[in-house]
Structure 1
Amino acid sequence: MLLFIISQLAPILTRQTIYILLPVGAALLLLSASLTPETRRLREIAVLALTPTALAAFFFVGWTGLSLAWTPFGAGPAERYAKSAATLALVAAACALLPARTKTSNLNLLPIGTGAAAAALAAVALLSASGGDQPVDLDSNALQRAGLGLALAIWPALGALALRGRWVSAALFALVSVAACLLARAPNALPALMAGALALALSFGKARRAGSLLAILSAALILLAPLAPILVHLVAPERLPAFAAPLETWGRIIANDGPRLFIGHGFGAAVFGVAGHYLYPDTPRSLLFQVWFDLGILGALGLAAVVARAFYVIGRTRPVLAPFLLGGLATGLTICVLGPAAEQLWWLTLAGLNAIAYALVLKGQFRTRRPRLEPNGGMGRLVVR
């Protein structure tokens, strides 16, 4: 948990620390698990690996790796895939090896660490605003990266406060965190947080129904994403406003792709194509475009299955916790859809740390007050109430 707090604070000043903390934390969990091996824990992990969500994730990762066989770029995509797969493996191992129950003291560290990160980010953003211009490139702007990471971390921290019944603290924490994200000028953070707030509002008191609805909507968004650019390209490509130009470009690419629409151009083709100026300058930076361009319809099916299952499963967790976690999923998906954060490895690492935070909260103790001990005069012993 201390590593999680550090991971929230360190990206404000440096971009490299986050790549170190995740392997260190996973290694510590692996070491602790090896010191106290449990046969039952291994069986639980094996059962978890055969769930529909895990199988969909295995298919998506496997198809992505297979697409390296026809990617037009050499070692770059393979190296990127290896780093991404290693990050996902570390996250999966960390989540699987967490203790069966999260202690209340550890659960409290989530909002404490995230709140400290929000306060530090707001202070640094205010000081930087008076000290000159910040780098425009998201990959070079530590404040914007930290703002996007905070937009993700808000939700499990709010869930931890909700589990403890700290509703006033949760409201104040949300206000401070959102203000810090806005001060950091993180790209697309505001619409993403608005989408998360909408998901939160829809799921209060009816998390199961909201989880199922969000699962359907997210899958439809991923699978039907090419329809909008195709229509834009066919209807009026020459009379489009500037903000719609990337859609027309995507529609033009689809019209020329042919069979590539089914298998894609191979992992990394979109990112390296834009970086090498092989694709149009206004090519979309959205995760939706990357998945369809790189992996085709099979990759889109795999991603849709993973995202839909995530919404469905989270919607069936504890009623007091599910709305906040659904809001976090909606926020993360919106950031990926709007781009360009999803094409960066640091974003995958931040999302992985957020997944670990989700696992910690889901295993949190449900009790919201200390047990009360009362003497039992007839039996001569204490009774816990």
Structure 2
Amino acid sequence: MARPRSPHRDPAAEAAALLRRLGFAILMIALPMVALVARRGVVILAPIGIALLAIAAVVDGEHRRLSTSLSSLLGRVAGVAVLVALGWAMLSLAWAPFTGPATERLGNLAATLALGLVGYLALPERMRSANLYPLAIGVGAAALLAVGLLLFEARPTWDEATITLDRGVVALALLIWPAAAWMHSRGRDMQSVALVLAVAIATGLAPSALSFAGFAAGALAYLVAASRMRLATTLVAAIGAGLILLAPALAFLLAPLDGLAPASLVGRYETWRAMILADPLRLLTGWGFETALRGRGGLVPVDAPRTPLFEIWLDLGLVGAAAIAAAFWSAAHGVARIHAAVAPGALAALAAGFGVVVVGASYTEMWFVTSAVVAALLFAAVERGQFRTQRPKAILPALLRRGSRQAERG
């Protein structure tokens, strides 16, 4: 005999809850693990997970008003600066030497950022703990898988599988911080430390220095932020924005160090100095989006610097670099306004992403941009899970006892 359906159950709400939980499971569990073995795992799974979150939000409406979310995100300096950078990159296509590929890459980049915006708008007003604990499970399982692959499947050559594994560990270096922040906010500090140590081992064994540089930068920022949040915010904002804005100065500052600094480093920045002196106007406008990656060996000398700080200036010039620096500065200072239990982890993730970029991950590579967008989205979810940090006090029994005492006295 079929059981009668409870009149209080809402099938639409239950379906939305299931879709939302599945979407978070894809972003928190499947994505970190698949990224280690599938080269396009992050790029494929992120849209699927965010699409499920968006469908769930449409079904049950448990999200903030779109006007409120958009004003809180795009109404700040960081949001405006990102729009300015994208607009300038689009304008630079008019003089970019590789217009076709550059247009395609810029379209993919804008679509990824728009996807992150959709995910942010689809987040519920209050996140349930059941939807956030899988984040620690996914990051922990992915860290153990990464350590196992790095220890027992060592490859003598830099093949596609090794590149995929290295990129997956870089994603872990970003995703560890929302996971650790969530566990810390729940009072599970030992589990949080265990997660951080597991990812530290994985990044230390990684084929390249990208992931370890990002993890080290994030860990250093976290250690300072845990005790002195304002100081850590100032340091991360000043170092990040300063390096972006003053990168061309290195081309001139390293010249007197010839003989003291490594010859290869000095030579690369001598090449950059020669490019600047040959066409100073390009320092303002840039050579056009994607020139740094696609022009190497032609328009860009082979021995030019390979850091993305150079790529930003070569592609977008002073206008683009200033917009990106302003976005980073504002984002770092905006971290101080979120919940105190989550803020150190958010600042650590920002420092980790910048560390990865400085060491060598291109600011336009889709796997890295998508990983950063997912990490930011998960941090927003973790921050919305802080709406109650203590159980409410049971005041009704106290009121009853007070009433009974007054009745006895009367």
Q: Which amino acid aligns with 1:265?
A: W
> Is contact 2:63–2:125 with CA below 8 Å preserved after alignment?
no
Which of 337, 361, 368 matches 1:340?
A: 361
Taking a change above 3 Å as real, the CA distance of residues 371 and 312 of structure 1, as seen in their structure-2 partners, is same
Aligned to 2:200, what secondary structure does the other structure show? Answer: helix
Give 2:106's aligned residue.
Answer: 81
Task: Give the deviation of 1:134 after TM superposition.
Answer: 3.9
Q: Which runs of 4+ in 1 moved over 6 A?
A: none
> Is contact 1:64–1:295 with CA below 8 Å preserved after alignment?
yes
Q: Which amino acid aligns with 2:280?
A: G
Aligned to 2:209, what secondary structure does the other structure show? Answer: coil
CA distances 1:307-335 after superposition (whole Å, capped 9, x unpaired): 00110001232222211211111111011
Aligned to 2:271, what secondary structure does the other structure show? Answer: helix
Give 2:54's aligned residue.
Answer: 30
Taking a change above 3 Å as real, the CA distance of residues 6 and 18 of structure 1, as seen in their structure-2 partners, is same
Task: Give the deviation of 1:374 after TM superposition.
Answer: 7.8
User: Counterparts of 1:184 and 1:224 in 2: how far apart (Å)?
Assistant: 30
Give 2:8's aligned residue.
Answer: none
> Is contact 1:118–1:180 with CA below 8 Å preserved after alignment?
yes
How does 1:1-385 map onto structure 2 within 5 Å? 1-4=24-27, 5-37=29-61, 41-48=65-72, 49-129=74-154, 132-135=155-158, 141-233=163-255, 236=258, 240-274=262-296, 277-365=298-386, 367=388, 376=397, 379=400
CA distances 1:166-189 after superposition (whole Å, capped 9, x unpaired): 111111111111101122224233
The worse-fitting range, judged by mean Cα deviation, of 152-161 and 211-220 is: 211-220
Task: Give the deviation of 1:149 after TM superposition.
Answer: 0.8
The worse-fitting range, judged by mean Cα deviation, of 30-39 and 342-351 is: 30-39
Instruction: Give the count of matched residue pairs.
Output: 376
What percent identity do the matched residue pairs reach?
34
> Is contact 1:164–1:366 with CA below 8 Å preserved after alignment?
no
Taking a change above 3 Å as real, the CA distance of residues 367 and 273 of structure 1, as seen in their structure-2 partners, is same
> Is contact 1:104–1:365 with CA below 8 Å preserved after alignment?
no
Q: Which runs of 5+ in 1 are unaligned?
A: 381-385
Q: Which runs of 5+ in 2 are unaligned?
A: 1-23, 402-410
Aligned to 1:225, what secondary structure does the other structure show? Answer: helix
User: Counterparts of 1:351 and 1:38 in 2: how far apart (Å)?
Assistant: 25
User: Counterparts of 2:382 and 2:399 in 1: how far apart (Å)?
Assistant: 40
Task: Give the deviation of 1:375 after TM superposition.
Answer: 6.7
Taking a change above 3 Å as real, the CA distance of residues 52 and 340 of structure 1, as seen in their structure-2 partners, is closer
User: Counterparts of 2:325 and 2:398 in 1: how far apart (Å)?
Assistant: 60
- How big is the alpha-carbon RMSD for the aligned residues of Structure 1 and Structure 2? 2.5
Task: Give the deviation of 1:368 after TM superposition.
Answer: 5.1
The worse-fitting range, judged by mean Cα deviation, of 103-112 and 197-206 is: 197-206
Q: Which amino acid aligns with 1:135?
A: W
The worse-fitting range, judged by mean Cα deviation, of 38-47 and 18-27 is: 38-47
Taking a change above 3 Å as real, the CA distance of residues 52 and 290 of structure 1, as seen in their structure-2 partners, is same
User: Counterparts of 1:111 and 1:244 in 2: how far apart (Å)?
Assistant: 43
Task: Give the deviation of 1:239 after TM superposition.
Answer: 8.1
Q: Which amino acid aligns with 2:205?
A: L
> Is contact 2:272–2:305 with CA below 8 Å preserved after alignment?
yes
User: Counterparts of 1:237 and 1:313 in 2: how far apart (Å)?
Assistant: 42
Taking a change above 3 Å as real, the CA distance of residues 140 and 79 of structure 1, as seen in their structure-2 partners, is farther
Task: Give the deviation of 1:115 after TM superposition.
Answer: 0.5
CA distances 1:142-184 after superposition (whole Å, capped 9, x unpaired): 1111111111111111101111111111111111111011222
Report the TM-score, using the length of structure 1 for normalisation.
0.90
User: Counterparts of 1:170 and 1:239 in 2: how far apart (Å)?
Assistant: 40
Taking a change above 3 Å as real, the CA distance of residues 207 and 377 of structure 1, as seen in their structure-2 partners, is closer
The worse-fitting range, judged by mean Cα deviation, of 152-161 and 37-46 is: 37-46
> Is contact 1:182–1:190 with CA below 8 Å preserved after alignment?
yes
Report the TM-score, using the length of structure 2 for normalisation.
0.85
> Is contact 1:270–1:293 with CA below 8 Å preserved after alignment?
yes
Task: Give the deviation of 1:109 after TM superposition.
Answer: 1.3
Report the structure number with the largest CA radius of gyration. Answer: 2
Q: Which amino acid aligns with 2:251?
A: P
> Is contact 1:249–1:280 with CA below 8 Å preserved after alignment?
yes
Taking a change above 3 Å as real, the CA distance of residues 326 and 101 of structure 1, as seen in their structure-2 partners, is same
CA distances 1:263-299 after superposition (whole Å, capped 9, x unpaired): 001100111112x644222322222111100110000
Q: Which amino acid aligns with 2:131?
A: N
User: Counterparts of 1:263 and 1:201 in 2: how far apart (Å)?
Assistant: 39
User: Counterparts of 1:320 and 1:14 in 2: how far apart (Å)?
Assistant: 34
> Is contact 1:285–1:340 with CA below 8 Å preserved after alignment?
no
